[in-house]
Amino acid sequence: QVQLVESGGDSVQAGGSLRLSCAVFGSTYSPYCMAWFRQAPGKEREGVAAIATLGGSTYYADSVKGRFTISQNNAKNTLYLQMNSLKPEDTAMYYCAAAYKYCSDFITQRPEQFKYWGQGTQVTVSS
């Protein structure tokens, strides 16, 4: 059973940076696709970034391209999301997700394609 634990959320001012981490526990075989989703109050959960754990291909939502970077440290079983130039509209609960499916533009925008989820970490960006 895969368990995901996020950390790193905080309150920052616009233009600031944060790095989120997601520790992966309990997986005998690494999930094929790891992703970050976010959900703001009253909005649907949306895909932010994803990475194919074998090969390292990355996927980003248009709204975060050039500002966010997803990466992984396989030795530490940890997923990261480096967020720079943060904007108030980035305010949301951020969730780490994992799937034993191959990453693609199709699944990285569809939370129902991911079976395993963390509890979330709050990011608040003030103007």
Residue 39 confidence (pLDDT):
98
CA–CA separation, 1 and 83 (whole Å):
29
Give 27: exposed, middle or buried? Use CB within 10 Å, 0-12, 13-18, 19+. Answer: middle
Give 28's pLDDT tier (boundaries 50, 70, 90). confident
Label residue 28 left, alpha or beta by phi (over 0 means left) and psi (-120 to 50 means alpha).
alpha
Pairing of strands 121-126, 11-13: parallel
Task: Decide if 94 contacts 120 (C-beta within 8 A).
Answer: yes
**Above 90 in pLDDT, residue 13?**
yes
Distance, CA of 90 to CA of 40 (rounded, Å): 8
Q: What is the rounded CA–CA span in Å between residue 28 and residue 10? A: 31
pLDDT for position 14: 98
Residue 84 has pLDDT above 80, yes or no: yes
Residue 113, pLDDT > 80, answer: yes
**pLDDT number for residue 27:** 78
